[in-house]
Structure formats: structure tokens, C-alpha cells
Amino acid sequence: MHELAIAESMVDAVLEHTGTAEVRAVRLEVGTLAGVLPDALRFCFELAADGTPLAGAQLDISEPGGLAHCRHCGADFGVDGLILLCPCGSADVRVLSGQQLRILSVEVG
């Protein structure tokens, strides 16, 4: 379960910036093509945050869809799964977005 390693890294990154301040919320962006399960990440975040100033913090996750460009027909199209296939049938595509995994903001207080 790589979500645990991601959650631990996320907690470490937040602590580097907030120190011992109580963290109320962390807002993340997890693209649908990032290969991360948001529910598993929420569960792992609770485990990783236990005993730290992030314990009990709310984890808000936005899940933007993917966008790809077809090199064959030139169309841009939405992608919500890991099968990258243009509506024209071509698999010669380039992912434009949807793979992001980043902390957007942290609420302390």
C-alpha cells in the first residue's frame, strides 16, 4: 500500500513548514491518473498523523480528472481511468494533466 508512504511523506512535509503548530486541515489535489486511492490515503493519513500536531486534522482531497492529447487526430479528451485511448481509437496519446499529487494548502490554528 503505497498510500501509507505518501501519507507519511505528506505529514513530514507539513511538519517541516508548521513545526509544532496545531494543524486543522490539509488540502490536497490528487489527479485521477495519479494511481492513488483517495479513501486509502485518508485512512493512511490518520495513521501517519497520529501523535503529531496533525492528529485529528481534516484531509480535504480534490480529484481533478485527466486530460490527454491524441497525436494521431490532434484531439484533446478527458480521461478518468488508466486506459489511455482516444475516442478515434488511437493509443498514441500524451497525458496533459491528471497525474498531479500535491499539497494545496494547510490550515493551522
Q: Are 84 and 93 in contact (CB under 8 A)?
A: yes
Local structure of residue 52 (DSSP, 8 states): S
Residues 20-69: pLDDT tens digits? 999 999 999 999 999 999 999 999 999 999 999 999 999 999 999 999 99
Give the burial string for 62-79 (b: 16+ CB within 10 Å, else e). eeeebbbebeeeeeebeb
Query: Which domain CATH number covers 61?
Result: 3.30.2320.50
Determine, yes or no, domain membership for 37: yes
Determine, yes or no, domain membership for 81: no
> For the packed helices 38-49 and 2-18, what is the interaxial angle rounded to 10 degrees?
50
Whole-prediction pTM: 0.85
Determine, yes or no, domain membership for 82: no
Domain of 32 in residue numbering reads as: 2-65+97-108
E-assigned strand segments in the chain: 23-30, 58-62, 66-70, 76-79, 93-97, 101-108
Task: Decide the pairing of beta strands 58-62 and 23-30.
Answer: parallel
Residues 55-75: pLDDT tens digits? 999 999 999 999 999 999 999
Residues facing residue 51 across a β-bridge: none
Determine, yes or no, domain membership for 38: yes
